[in-house]
Amino acid sequence: MVSSAFKKQLAPVLQDGFVVKRSVFQSCLELYPMQEWNLMMAKINKLNRFVKKNNDFIRRFTAGVKMVEMDASGRILIPKDLCVFAGIEKEIVLSSAVNIIEIWDKNKYEEVIEDTTSDFAELAEEVMGNFDVDELS
């Protein structure tokens, strides 16, 4: 169930539906608004499928991909196989990841956030520290 505040933010993309898939880097799911998914697929479709690495990547990236919609009550039905992959048991966390939404088992999300907290200052400096302040605005 998506909160009403979150549902309002998603209003412009609700009618097009979503794609839910396994995350590449974490034990969570990624929810793509259809427009974002189409942009991602346009990039992936440029890969030469006669290069084995590209073909393997495409297969793994799209493994378990499902199209989903939000019903009138704000619910999204997540297929069982994807719930098993993400270890979703009872409570979930929806986390914004810029242009997509990550769907986490609540306990796993808290573990990942806790594990990365101590290194976050170093990570922030390494990732964002090389940008000129004007480039970020």
Q: Where are the alpha helices (DSSP H) in the chain?
A: 4-10, 34-44, 52-61, 80-86, 106-117, 120-128, 133-136
pLDDT beyond 80 at 119: no
Residue range(s) defining the domain that contains residue 58:
4-106
- Three-state DSSP string of 11-27: HHHHHHCEEEEECCCCC
Q: What is the pLDDT of residue 121?
A: 78
Does some domain include residue 90? yes
Burial of 112 from C-beta contacts in 10 A (0-12 / 13-18 / 19+): middle
CATH number of the domain to which 33 belongs: 3.40.1550.20
pTM for the whole structure: 0.84
* pLDDT tens, residue by residue, 32-47: 999 999 999 999 999 9
Give the pair of three-digit tokens for residue 7.
């549902």
SS3 call for 30: strand
pLDDT bin (cut points 50, 70, 90) of residue 117 is low
Does some domain include residue 94? yes
CB atoms within 10 A of CB 102: 19
Position with higher pLDDT, 92 vs 115: 92
Does some domain include residue 111? no
Number of domains in the chain: 1
* pLDDT tens, residue by residue, 12-28: 888 899 999 999 999 99
* pLDDT tens, residue by residue, 61-91: 999 899 999 988 889 999 999 999 999 998 9
Does some domain include residue 55? yes
Cα-Cα-Cα-Cα dihedral sign, residues 29, 32, 34, 36? negative
Q: Tell me 95's DSSP state.
A: E
